[in-house]
Each structure stands twice: as structure tokens, then as C-alpha cells.
């Protein structure tokens, strides 16, 4: 099966975005940059595409123009191992114009939607004890950045 590479459409910020994402995620790098030529459709010499990897996951970003923008219909899920990782990615991705949304969702300064999720929350929300899972779910619905200790306390009825 061929490898699937997410392709992100930007107006003119693909290289800036790729550099930003590579600075946030470990083991990441830009692998190639191509430029528009004389045939266009954009000004010759400006960035056309940027290929990059985020911890081994390939992405392509294109400076395609203002016709399309990001929305929450597509997002990237970051499965975090605990609160410390949640805090790290949340802080980095909401910096410089990013914004918190709800239930672990945010939009970075480029408008791309992310879900920053502690994997430990899965057990709380899927607890076979329906009262525990309901309390955890209600707590999560009131959060922006996920607070794992608060979810645990809610599940425990504290």
C-alpha cells in the first residue's frame, strides 16, 4: 500500500509553518522545498511546497493561495503520555496567536486544529463503571486543555 502523506494548504506560510512544527515535535525535519517557476501560477521564486517530517510522519505543505482555509473537520491528534506532555504541546501550539478551543482541542497560529490528549484519559472515559465514566466525561466537557488530575478526581467523585 502506498504511504499516505497529509498535504496542508497555506496561503503563503507553508515554510514558516513547517519550521514551526519541526521546532515543536522531536525528531523532525524539513526534507525538501520547491519554488514556483516562471510558469506560475504564483510569483517565480516563491515557495511552492515544503516536505517535512514530524517524528517520522511525512507531511507536505503548499503555498496555494487564500482560496482554502483550515477548519476543525480535519485535525491532528497528539496522543500524550501524561500531563507533562499535554502541557508541553498545549503551550507550544497555542503560543503566538494559537487559541484554546474545548475538550483538548486547539487551533495553532496558522489555523490548523489539534487535539492534545493524554492517553490515560481513555481509561477514565471508558470506565466500565458508568457513573465514573459519566463524571469524567462531564469534567472533560468543561475543560479546554485536558487536566488529567481533575478528570481522575471527577471519576473518583472527589
Per-residue pLDDT of 40-53, as tens digits, reads: 899 999 999 999 99
Domain CATH for 64: 3.30.720.100
Query: Sign of dihedral through CA atoms 55, 52, 65, 4?
Result: negative
Asked whether residue 103 falls in the same domain as residue 152, the answer is yes
pLDDT value of position 1:
84
pLDDT tens profile 13-65? 999 999 999 999 999 999 999 999 999 899 999 999 999 999 999 999 999 99
Residues 13, 70 contacting (CB under 8 angstroms): no
Looking at the structure, tell me whether residues 56 and 95 fall in a common domain: no
Per the structure, the complete domain to which residue 88 belongs is given by 70-158
Which of these three, 68, 95, 126, is where a domain ends?
68
Q: Which of 15, 43, 68 is the last residue of a domain?
A: 68
- Both 82 and 50 in a single domain? no
Asked if residue 100 and residue 33 are part of one domain, the reply reads no
**CA–CA separation, 152 and 155 (whole Å):** 5
State yes or no: pLDDT of 156 exceeds 90: yes
Average pLDDT over the chain, rounded to whole? 97
Return the pLDDT at 38. Answer: 94
Amino acid at each position: 500500500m502506498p504511504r499516505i502523506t497529509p498535504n496542508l494548504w497555506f496561503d503563503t506560510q507553508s515554510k514558516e509553518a513547517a519550521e514551526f512544527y519541526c521546532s515543536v515535535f522531536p525528531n523532525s525535519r524539513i526534507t525538501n522545498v520547491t519554488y514556483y517557476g516562471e510558469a506560475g501560477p504564483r510569483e517565480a521564486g516563491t515557495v511552492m511546497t515544503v516536505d517535512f517530517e514530524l517524528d517520522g510522519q511525512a507531511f507536505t505543505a503548499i503555498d496555494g493561495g487564500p482560496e482554502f482555509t483550515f477548519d476543525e473537520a480535519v485535525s491532528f491528534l497528539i496522543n500524550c503520555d501524561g500531563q507533562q506532555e499535554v502541557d508541553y504541546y498545549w503551550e507550544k501550539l497555542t503560543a503566538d496567536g494559537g487559541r484554546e478551543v474545548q475538550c483538548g482541542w486547539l487551533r495553532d497560529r496558522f489555523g490548523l486544529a489539534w487535539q492534545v490528549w493524554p492517553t490515560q484519559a481513555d481509561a477514565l472515559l471508558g470506565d466500565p463503571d458508568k457513573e465514573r465514566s459519566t463524571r469524567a466525561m462531564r469534567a472533560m466537557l468543561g475543560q479546554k486543555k485536558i487536566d488529567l488530575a481533575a478528570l481522575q478526581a471527577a471519576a473518583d467523585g472527589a
